Structure 1
Amino acid sequence: MNQKKSLLARVVNGSLVLQILVGILAGVALAQWSPEGAKQVEFLGGLFVGALKAIAPILVFILVASSIANQKKNTQTSMRPIVVLYLFGTFAAALTAVMMSFLFPTTLVLAAGAQGATPPEGIGEVIHTLLFKLVDNPINALLTGNYIGILTWGVGLGFALHHASNSTKQVFADMSHSISQMVRFIIRLAPIGIFGLVAATFAKTGFAALAGYLQLLAVLLGAMAIIALVVNPLIVFVMTRRNPYPLVFQCLRESGVTAFFTRSSAANIPVNMALCEKLKLHEDTYSVSIPLGATINMGGAAITITILTLAAVHTLGIEVDIFTALLLSILAAVSACGASGVAGGSLLLIPLACSLFGISNDVAMQVVAVGFIIGVIQDAAETALNSSTDVLFTAAACESASRQQSLSRTGAELG
């Protein structure tokens, strides 16, 4: 009996990353040896992703409201530099995608149809949709996972509760801690969930369908790797003035891996909040910055929009000058920030970017269809980059603020 308890304790307290790696390898092995058996365990992945998606909206709402309600006066939350980092990082990702597309021009064999999807007619529609999500009914926002609306109501309730009695504030603080405990339990189930996701994905698709688009995938993944391993570390170094790679690799390992397999920024919000807590970041900051990042920090989406658009441009033989390429980067960055307000995400914003070059909607939707074909890898890598960067930039801004406060105190003491 004691041996069983000891084994269970080792599993519960063991390295989650190592357990996830074992789950990935087991999923690949099962898909290779028994494809039909692999399809049968898909429900494990569905249960895991469903549990994360179910708890994420209420976690964000309660945590944001509790953090603001219990916030002490003159507390620094570092939100402004985080938002600046989010926007700058998304624009830098679009610029990197433009450069990669020019260095490695890709032509496509265009597919037909895009699953009946309807793209937005212009950037105005994207912004319009995003703005109206701000004033969504709070119950509907929680039910549909509208994180812009959830953030708006959470912030509003938090400010309203700021002047409530201490006992009322403590109720929200206790609810926040209780939900966080539930999140920790769900995250410990990640190895089982990822085992089911990997097994089912490999059994159903493998990589045969992706073979015809290897160059396009290579350019996409190459651009995302440059952002994750070169551009983002450079930004973090400028902010913190120390070696950024330990933090970068921790974010990729503990946030990016989970996001890669769940392919859902919303599902990864609880994972990211748990990582921020582990990094000992300020709760008043990450309770707002993480769900906000899941909405506007969209470097991976900007890369997808830019590269697939320029692939269509190269396929049609259209000449692109520097000014138009810069304009595309701006358009892709702004569109990516609004991607969460459009059903279908980044892929359905490709026709909007294609319109900049006079490409017809029919041709653009064929490019979207190509995006759906490679979506198994493209969407997974995009989500991993977006989600891990949310924690990375939040941690960098918090560390930069702490460093500046330490320098100010040192200067005051010397003065």
Structure 2
Amino acid sequence: MASTALKPNPLLQFVSNGSLVTQILIGLIAGVLLAYVSPDTAQAVGLLGGLFVSALKAVAPLLVFVLVAASIANHKQGAQTRLGPILGLYLVGTFAAALVAVVASFLFPLTIQLQQGDATLSPPSGVIEVLRNLLFSVVDNPVHALLEANYIGILAWAVGLGIALRHAHGTTKNIMADLSLGLSFIVRVVIRMAPLGIFGLVSATIADTGFGALLDYARLLALLLGCMIFVALVVNPLIVFWRIRANPYPLVLTCLRESGVTAFFTRSSAANIPVNMALCEKLGLEKDTYSVSIPLGATINMAGAAITITVLTLAAVNTLGVPVDLFTALLLSIVAAVCACGASGVAGGSLLLIPVACSLFGISNDLAMQVVGVGFIIGVLQDSAETALNSSTDVLFTAAGSARAAAPSAE
């Protein structure tokens, strides 16, 4: 009898080659069910989520450094990277988000019950200090920048090394390219673990906090989430349509589905960099472009952070009865956008910049830190939604700025 070839296991085929989005949704639902049925087991399973986020954070700094340096070193003379338009979209999108938050806060003025903040936190004293910190991040020691995931410093050193290696021998350039491929392979392996990571993150989060603690702040949370949803589904598509003159929603929904879902649960733009790079590759974007624009976006493209800073600041202003005129509101939008660009790419990074915006209205640092405390209370959902908006927009604007935003096929 002729031997028949072994049929591949359908389960293994689904795990290794199936739709990652479908697998993540399964992990999400399983996490919710486990947290409901057995909270103690759900907390223990949270180890999977911690391992997944740690793996992403571990590989991301080195991946960014090697990819950027290799892309610039092997960049062909005369090739277009389109970073200028992408950077412009980042800045326009962040300012537009701050403006939306100002308008929404005027339409639905809210007050907050201020709580005592953490006295050990040390926020920046003003916009000048935020800009100063950014400049010093550029000249950070490269080893320290990699250890601390300082992406401004990593980008600066990677760009410098890449420019220097453009004059190197071909063998050296090939080594850089091979390192880039090797790290990209490791990233793909880590990303395939996303369903297990999301399963652990969701189950542990619901088991630990639930949603009861958010009930007293439901109105504030609703305003924040409403602004973010409006920016994601209305403002960003309008910006992309202005750029590509085509239906933006296939691309918008793809970015939200394949980048935003993961970012929602990791709550870290930095940790989501490998996910975004994989999505850019899937969309067929130029590697020379997205290898720089994605880590740059994780640092300065912070529409969600601008919304958080603006809404919480104006809530504090309303609580204290401070009058706000149109000019001051516009100035707040600018300050919030600048502050958002200085927010770190980690969970809760935007909250410590709220005192900078509060200083516009003469609000003391002590009161501003109480507003930060409120932000941490609602941070379970606020920070997750903020990160999802920030990170998915990195890919969205990279695709739009690259003028390669053809509607992706649905999976």
TM range (shorter): over 0.9
Q: 1:400 to 1:48 in 2, by over 3 A?
A: closer
The two structures have a TM-score, normalised by structure 1, of 0.94
Paired-residue identity, %: 70
Q: 1:45 to 1:342 in 2, by over 3 A?
A: closer
1:302-341 CA distance string (max 9 Å, x none): 0000000000011112221100000000000011111129
1:11 Cα offset (Å): 1.8
Q: 1:252 to 1:401 in 2, by over 3 A?
A: closer
- Write the distance in 2 (CA, Å) between the matches of 1:101 and 1:313: 11
Which residues of 2 match residues 23-42 of structure 1 at below 5 A? 23-42=27-46
Counterpart selection for 1:355 from 359, 367, 392: 359
Counterpart selection for 1:392 from 380, 389, 396: 396
- Write the distance in 2 (CA, Å) between the matches of 1:315 and 1:11: 51
1:124 Cα offset (Å): 1.2
1:217 Cα offset (Å): 0.5
Q: 1:219 to 1:20 in 2, by over 3 A?
A: same
Which residues of 2 match residues 118-197 of structure 1 at below 5 A? 118-197=122-201
Task: Name the counterpart of 1:406.
Answer: none
- The answer to whether the 8 Å contact 1:120/1:342 transfers is no
- Write the distance in 2 (CA, Å) between the matches of 1:212 and 1:331: 29
- Write the distance in 2 (CA, Å) between the matches of 1:315 and 1:18: 44
Counterpart amino acid of residue 151 in structure 1? L
- Write the distance in 2 (CA, Å) between the matches of 1:226 and 1:10: 35
Task: Name the counterpart of 1:222.
Answer: 226
Higher mean displacement: 257-266 or 108-117: 108-117
Task: Name the counterpart of 2:84.
Answer: 80
1:115 Cα offset (Å): 5.9
Tell me the number of residue pairs that the alignment of Structure 1 and Structure 2 aligns: 402
SS of the counterpart of 1:267?
coil
1:114 Cα offset (Å): 2.6
- RMSD over aligned CA atoms reads 1.6
SS of the counterpart of 1:388?
helix
1:4-41 CA distance string (max 9 Å, x none): 64431222111110110010110000100111110011
Counterpart selection for 2:74 from 41, 46, 70: 70
Which residues of 2 match residues 321-332 of structure 1 at below 5 A? 321-332=325-336
- Write the distance in 2 (CA, Å) between the matches of 1:37 and 1:400: 46
Counterpart selection for 2:206 from 202, 205, 208: 202
- Write the distance in 2 (CA, Å) between the matches of 1:29 and 1:401: 37
Counterpart selection for 2:299 from 295, 298, 312: 295
SS of the counterpart of 1:74?
coil
- The answer to whether the 8 Å contact 2:300/2:342 transfers is yes
1:361 Cα offset (Å): 1.5
Q: 1:401 to 1:112 in 2, by over 3 A?
A: closer
In the TM superposition, structure 1's runs of 4+ consecutive aligned residues that sit over 3 Å from their partners are 1-6, 341-344
- Write the distance in 1 (CA, Å) between the matches of 2:297 and 2:346: 16
1:344 Cα offset (Å): 5.4
Counterpart selection for 2:282 from 278, 283, 300: 278
- The answer to whether the 8 Å contact 1:62/1:172 transfers is yes
Counterpart amino acid of residue 184 in structure 1? R
- The answer to whether the 8 Å contact 2:267/2:387 transfers is yes
Task: Name the counterpart of 1:51.
Answer: 55
The two structures have a TM-score, normalised by structure 2, of 0.95
Which residues of 2 match residues 209-248 of structure 1 at below 5 A? 209-248=213-252
1:343 Cα offset (Å): 10
Task: Name the counterpart of 1:375.
Answer: 379
2:313 paired with 1:309: yes
- Write the distance in 1 (CA, Å) between the matches of 2:31 and 2:345: 33
- Write the distance in 1 (CA, Å) between the matches of 2:238 and 2:108: 24
Task: Name the counterpart of 2:338.
Answer: 334
- Write the distance in 2 (CA, Å) between the matches of 1:25 and 1:342: 25
Unaligned runs of 5+ in 1: 403-415
1:164 Cα offset (Å): 1.0
Counterpart amino acid of residue 388 in structure 1? S
1:401 Cα offset (Å): 9.8
- The answer to whether the 8 Å contact 1:239/1:400 transfers is no
Q: Is the helix fraction higher in 1 or 2?
A: 1
SS of the counterpart of 1:20?
helix
- The answer to whether the 8 Å contact 2:267/2:346 transfers is no
- Write the distance in 2 (CA, Å) between the matches of 1:255 and 1:342: 16
Which residues of 2 match residues 104-115 of structure 1 at below 5 A? 104-114=108-118
Unaligned runs of 5+ in 2: 407-411
